[in-house]
Structure 1
Amino acid sequence: MSIIQDIIGRIVVLRGGQYSVEVDVVTDESFGRFAAPIDENPALYIAEARRAVSEVDEIIGPELIGFDAIDQELIDSYLWEIDGTDNFSHIGANTALAVSVAVAKAAANSRNISLYSYIGGTFTTELPVPVVTFGADENFEYHVIVRDLLEVTDIIDAVVRLLDFSLSLEELSKASEQVGLELGLEVSLGITMRKELETEKVLEIVEDYNIAYIKPIGTPELFLELIAGTHGVFIDGEYLYRKYNILDRKYYNALSIKPINLGTLTDLYNFVNDVKAEKITPILSESKYEPADETLPHLALGLRCPAMLIHMNSVEKINELNRIAEELGERGRIITFEE
């Protein structure tokens, strides 16, 4: 057993100078720690972060002492009960996620196994493909995708070479094909739209500029046109899901999922399964403000997400994915990221 003895909260600084809450879970056999990210509209400034720490130390911690850390679903449901709202507006989604993941880490450590194995089981061996963000202009954020990765470090080689070129769609499109030839890999671009464009223009961009992944913004009709007018391209429906609550394969075939938007680890697990049930590819994604933490690759692998969307500066996540690949050895394989 791994009985929770103590839960400790503290303030942590995220990239971009935002504050969040970090949680330690101490059991009689092990220890787990996780700091929650923050999404596009940060709510946890320093005063709120201090309040979150107080919630952990004075309310959540005392309530969860004595639970067995392996009872993840029970603990996560109890976090909802402690909060008493339908959206974690009392204790905060950041706080709930930090506690939940720290509990899972403590449980994994008590069994002396990796977090991805604890979440996904013995046959969790398919490594997620990193979709790496490396720059932006006024129209797009740019990502690089290597569909036929042989090693995790191949993605870094591709990113480093692309950084030698100017950040424009036309030049990066040509550069991605050139870099692919130099590396002997299939290197493609991904784009996240930063403003709405006419449907015909979006279709033209996907067709002409070596695009393998696009996260559009626009009306449901735009998504329908993209699904109908493209082949082998991942159409990410995050905008459509968050604005219209549409979860439907006929509109998009991929969905980037930020754990902070779901609540607990159990909520994340259930939502990923809902996405898969719609035959939509789940892509586990960083939030805008992230801690220097190695957990995301474990979540992506354990939840069997074929890809994860990260920034090129997230070296701790890339290094951890490389360590996992080494740990898995011949059992591990990197998924060919194809629609």
Structure 2
Amino acid sequence: MTLVEAVSLRRVLDSRGNPTVEADVLTEAGGFGRAAAPSGASTGEFEAVERPPSEAIAAAREHAVPRLVGAVHAGNQREVDAALHAADGTDDFSELGANAAVAISMAAAKAGADTVGLPLFQHLGGSFRGAQTTFPTPLGNVVGGGEHAAEATAIQEFLAAPVGAPSVAEAVFANAEVHAAVADVLDERGIAAAKGDEGAWAPPIDDAEAFEVVDEAVDRVAEARGFEIRFGLDVAASEMYDADAEVYRAGDTERTPAEQRDWIAGLVDEYDLAYVEDPLDETDFDGFAELTDRVGDRTLVCGDDLFVTNVERLDRGIETGAGNSILIKPNQIGTLTDAFDAVERAHRAGMDAVVSHRSGETEDTTIAHLAVATDAPFVKTGTVGGERTAKLNELVRIAEDAV
């Protein structure tokens, strides 16, 4: 019933106006799925390889489509993704391109769900790990800099975290209100701000002032809403690190690795941070372990560039105690199966898994379903912009459907 009958691929635009790969999968029973690959700006050195979309599409048509059509069932995600790996034949999807692979993988999951008449989150949960029990708290990107915005903060993302929200919908709207409150605080300070490529405000201020602005905005909305709202960071420290000089550079400030750890630990204490992503360089497993030992009982120390959704790198982190959570981005590793394997490995080690979008996004809503299916404590989707609100609105619908 879910046998793949057709696979088609095309180029479409992502949120930055760049081309990306979109896939359609049709099953013999008429089930249909469509998905588009996102793309990152701040990418880890160890991520799966994207190819230029035209090349990825040509390679997928030649090598992957013949292995899928009439040969695998969209209702069996592991079967689909094994066929993609076999078609690629490399360790990093450099033959097909991770962008083509993940688009097909997600489209097949949607086609399988459509064929059997299930919401995608239920289909994915049934395929991999059972029904969901919780709903993720969305992390809203409200101030951004780093690789996402020039002339702004060195820290890449300041993230609102409405941890006390009584529902997904309340959390979604609270994040939007924090985003608006940041604009108000900046205006009161006479600071004009454009937006970065994820829709976060990108004011020409340093990190210290950004902490003041976000802290004030969060407090205003928390008081008005009547529930706890904290905030977190994506430091993207690999973008700051000079490996030759062995220092982190943020504006005019230089920090040794030890000073960077002290700085992050101090921020966790001062601002009660709920989440800290990539606080150190992507090769510094020992530094991550030391920082996790210091603050991991109070916050999530999350590895994105450190782990790149890769089980082998995650295993190294587990062995050293580096981080207590992993960021999950399916396009980093190429398929939903690989992403789920990383989630399950993290869970077995007592770590959390946080599902995330990318800076170059599409209207695709798969990650909202993935976050629910994997019991993620947080999901990163951004706060504003059509491609971001598509995921947030889908979370609201999922929560309503699951009641």
Partner of 1:147: 163
Partner of 2:88: 83
Structure 2 counterparts to residues 237-316 of structure 1, below 5 A: 237-241=303-307, 245=313, 246-248=316-318, 250-313=321-384, 314-316=388-390
1:108/1:181 Cα in 2 relative to 1: closer, same or farther (>3 Å)? Answer: same
Partner of 1:24: 24
Asked whether 1:165 is paired with 2:178, we answer no
Name which of structure 1's ranges 193-202 and 86-95 shifts more when overlaid on structure 2. Answer: 193-202
Q: 1:61 aligns with which of 65, 73, 76?
A: 65
Three-state SS of the structure 2 residue aligned to 1:103 is helix
1:76·1:265 contact (CA, 8 Å) conserved in 2? yes
2:50·2:98 contact (CA, 8 Å) conserved in 1? no
Q: CA deviation at 1:44?
A: 5.9
Partner of 1:233: 299
Distance 1:320 1:261 in 2: 22
Distance 1:203 1:124 in 2: 33
Q: CA deviation at 1:102?
A: 0.9
Partner of 1:217: 280
1:72·1:104 contact (CA, 8 Å) conserved in 2? yes
1:119·1:302 contact (CA, 8 Å) conserved in 2? yes
Name which of structure 1's ranges 188-197 and 252-261 shifts more when overlaid on structure 2. Answer: 188-197
Q: 1:124 aligns with which of 123, 128, 132?
A: 132
Consecutive unaligned residues of structure 2, counting only runs of 5 or more, are 44-48, 145-151, 187-202, 204-209, 241-247, 249-254
1:51/1:247 Cα in 2 relative to 1: closer, same or farther (>3 Å)? Answer: same
Matched letter for residue 99 of structure 2:
N
Q: CA deviation at 1:228?
A: 2.9
Paired positions, count: 327
Q: Deviations over 1:183-222 (max 9, x none)?
A: 1111111112243342322222111123111121244454
Q: Which runs of 4+ in 1 moved over 4 A?
A: 41-45
Q: 1:98 aligns with which of 74, 99, 103?
A: 103
2:23·2:104 contact (CA, 8 Å) conserved in 1? yes
Distance 2:85 2:214 in 1: 46
1:144·1:159 contact (CA, 8 Å) conserved in 2? no
Matched letter for residue 298 of structure 2:
G
Distance 2:78 2:290 in 1: 40
Three-state SS of the structure 2 residue aligned to 1:236 is strand
Q: Deviations over 1:97-120 (max 9, x none)?
A: 111111111111010010110111
Distance 2:120 2:83 in 1: 22
Asked whether 1:201 is paired with 2:263, we answer yes
1:125·1:328 contact (CA, 8 Å) conserved in 2? no
Distance 1:113 1:205 in 2: 44
Structure-1-length-normalised TM-score:
0.89
1:173·1:210 contact (CA, 8 Å) conserved in 2? no
Matched letter for residue 162 of structure 2:
V
Q: Deviations over 1:45-89 (max 9, x none)?
A: 8xx212222234344223311132223212211211111212111
Consecutive unaligned residues of structure 1, counting only runs of 5 or more, are 330-339
Q: CA deviation at 1:177?
A: 2.7
Structure-2-length-normalised TM-score:
0.75
1:86/1:222 Cα in 2 relative to 1: closer, same or farther (>3 Å)? Answer: closer
Three-state SS of the structure 2 residue aligned to 1:247 is helix
Q: Deviations over 1:125-172 (max 9, x none)?
A: 421111111222423210000112212232323442432223610232
- Taking only aligned residues, the RMSD between alpha carbons, in angstroms, comes to 2.3
Three-state SS of the structure 1 residue aligned to 2:327 is strand
1:256·1:309 contact (CA, 8 Å) conserved in 2? no
Asked whether 1:326 is paired with 2:326, we answer no
Name which of structure 1's ranges 197-206 and 305-314 shifts more when overlaid on structure 2. Answer: 197-206
Partner of 2:11: 11
Three-state SS of the structure 1 residue aligned to 2:370 is helix
1:224/1:19 Cα in 2 relative to 1: closer, same or farther (>3 Å)? Answer: same
1:38/1:176 Cα in 2 relative to 1: closer, same or farther (>3 Å)? Answer: same
Matched letter for residue 37 of structure 1:
P
Distance 1:267 1:228 in 2: 28
1:251/1:59 Cα in 2 relative to 1: closer, same or farther (>3 Å)? Answer: closer
Three-state SS of the structure 2 residue aligned to 1:211 is coil
1:51/1:234 Cα in 2 relative to 1: closer, same or farther (>3 Å)? Answer: same
1:183/1:295 Cα in 2 relative to 1: closer, same or farther (>3 Å)? Answer: same
Partner of 2:194: none
2:63·2:88 contact (CA, 8 Å) conserved in 1? no
2:4·2:25 contact (CA, 8 Å) conserved in 1? yes
Q: 2:232 aligns with which of 177, 190, 201?
A: 190
Q: CA deviation at 1:277?
A: 1.6
1:18·1:44 contact (CA, 8 Å) conserved in 2? no
